[in-house]
Chains A and B, each alone.
Chain A
Amino acid sequence: MTSATETSAETRTTETRTERLAGLVQRRGSIVVLALVVLVSSVSFDSFATLDNARNIAIQSSFLAVVALGMTFVIISGGIDLSVGSVYALGGVLAAYGIQWGSLVGLALPLVVCGAIGLLNGVLVAYGRLAPFIVTLATLLGARGLLLAITDEGATTRLMPREDWLTHLGQGTFLGLGLPVWITLGLFAVGVVVLGRTRFGHATLAIGGSREAATLMGLPVARDTMLLYLGSGLLAGLAGTLAAAYSASGVTIVGEGLELDAIAAVVIGGTLLTGGVGTVGGTLAGVLLLRVIQNVINQVGTLSTHYQSVVSGAFLAVVVAVQAYLSRAHLRGRRR
């Protein structure tokens, strides 16, 4: 080999500053904004930076976070799961329904049923080659139907016995933080490892980056895709179970629109809806950001609480517009 060939490789590798900045905004933007919002709120409102309020935000974030974790993986693979809101609600109701036969059933029933719905999504998307959007839209309806069927059309709200250990899983605390928060943190730690440090996670990124390339590289694309939707269903069911345990009842009306919050959190967290790029940590920041904004708007008092969704929506629009702009700047940079 000649020195000429080496320089040819070298000269083409200078990344432009814009490109690096784009990548940084993509990966870390949500965390920076979260830190800013927290900082400003702490200074502005006395009641914000208190331990109680922090606990409050943490527990409120935890259920959405667990749902968003599964959604992160699905979106990174280039798919979407609209059914999670219904599945989440179904999970909670099933926990309260199953606990009459014991705590173990109360935990297992939602996981089995919600896992089965996730598996159905996965099989239809991965092997049936149907559009994820429409498949999960159908299971959204189906799961809601199932929920209504076991609650006498939403009329019955089953309670969970206070002293049961499954209920304790939702209500108990450890080192001052609610158990669901610890469970969420644990799941996210696992999520970080799975996405970043396992072949499965690597394959997920590759499938989202280019399904065709992943197939040609011999990756098990269909199997992994199926597993992703299975995981999303399981996590949504688990989140519903925890939420039910926290409130000690299987509330039938929760979870409507939760899939939207989850998608919003994932996208705000820097995961591209086109797939192939995303982080688990970013999603956690996205979830916290949504919940902190909600909390802050409550703190302001004079502001209508409805500003929360206005802000979330505007945030989402700005984030995706910036993402589109950055990725186009990137392409232009490459063409030149």
Chain B
Amino acid sequence: MTADPRAEPRTGRLTAWLRDNGVYAAVAVLVGYNLLFSANFATWGNLGTQVVQVAPVLIVALGMALVIGTEGVDLSVGSVMAVAAAILPLYLGYGFVPAVGLALVAGALCGALNGTLVAVVGIQPIVATLALLVGGRGLALVFADGQLTDIRNDDLLALGSGELLGIPTIGWIAAVLAVAVWLVVRYTTFGRQLVAVGGNRSASALAGLPVRRVLLTTYVISGVLAAVAGILATARLTASDPSAIGTLYELSAITAVVVGGTPLSGGRVRILGTVAGAVLMQLITATLIKHNLPDSTAQIVQAAIILVAVHLQRGSR
């Protein structure tokens, strides 16, 4: 039986424009507003603060954007950050490189677990990654014995507080990763296959794409990026705090991705939009704080922005 031709939902031109460019416009408006009305906004000091605050969220959001591009979601990122943070002090005795390397491997393993549950066992991403969200933080606390550990390794501390050309090192790392992920999405076989699998899994399978491998790899990348964020946040904090680090990062990351125009229905990954989404959320908080409006207002505004963003996307397909 044929599917009846159905009227394609026609979104208004304004809606379409807002969906595709709204996040950039909002960032521009907020920056403009702050330049005009906020004291001490356009200073190096403030720029550094903002960059440092947004960088870990942004890095996690990059991986989240890939996962959401496959029509999935990774709730475990915050806990994976904690695992990476907890592993660092255990091995810093052997030096900076082994410790960071092991933390990254741990992130990859977490991602592989998620990916296996999703791609091989066939569990919905939301539950598969929920298990690690619950278990991962416990694991991190077990590694760290529930303790906050001060970081004394100079290399790691330099990573957290260093600057290059006036911009914090953390900011540079986030920027490099954003460019790298953007390049991966655009120019690699894997990136194109990822977008295809997310857009139409049935067509991708019929075109002979390695659907499982693509999904698995995507979750591994998300895990590694979460580990990077965990390492950087720890370095910045000068302490490994597995009980607090990365809490609710999954929400911030999903928000950045969705507000940045990547549809939850998969098939499109907007890295630049994700960067703008993360920046926008940071700017909102910063602006409100600068005007002595409390955190509560920021959260309510963010909630409203998420709803507007998903509403705009609803008509797109």
Contacts and interface: CB of A to CB of B under 8 A. Distances in A.
Interface stretch (A4-12, A17-25, A196-204, A310-318): A310-318
Give the dominant DSSP class at B's interface.
Answer: helix
Interface string A247-272: 00000000011001101100100000
Given A141-B251, A145-B298, A260-B133, A321 B138 contact: no
- Chain B interface residue count: which class? 35 or more
Give the dominant DSSP class at A's interface.
Answer: helix
Interface in A267-318: 267, 273-274, 304-314, 316-317
B287 to A, nearest CB: 15
A328 B310 CA distance: 33
A325 B130 contact: no
A289 to B, nearest CB: 13
B304 A320 contact: no
Interface string A211-255: 000000000000000000000000000000000000000000000
Contacts of A146: 296, 300
Interface residues of A, number: 49
Contacts of B128: 317, 320
Contact of A134 (B127, B146, B258): B258
B297 interface: yes
Nearest to B252: A141
Interface stretch (B38-46, B115-123, B193-201): B115-123
Contacts of B146: 304-306
A317 B146 CA distance: 23
B102 interface: no
Given A142-B300, A306-B141, A325-B121, A80 B307 contact: no
A313 B135 contact: yes
Contacts of A147: 296
Interface in B287-304: 294-304
A131 B131 contact: no
A310 B202 CA distance: 36
A148 B295 contact: yes
A310 B297 contact: no
Contacts of A328: 122
A153 B131 CA distance: 31
Interface in B255-294: 255, 258, 264, 294
Contact of B135 (A131, A256, A263, A317): A317
Interface of A: 80, 124, 128-131, 133-135, 137-142, 144-149, 153, 256-257, 260-261, 263-264, 267, 273-274, 304-314, 316-317, 320-321, 324-325, 328
9 contacts: A128-B314, A131-B310, A148-B294, A153-B295, A273-B126, A306-B139, A310-B138, A313-B132, A316-B130
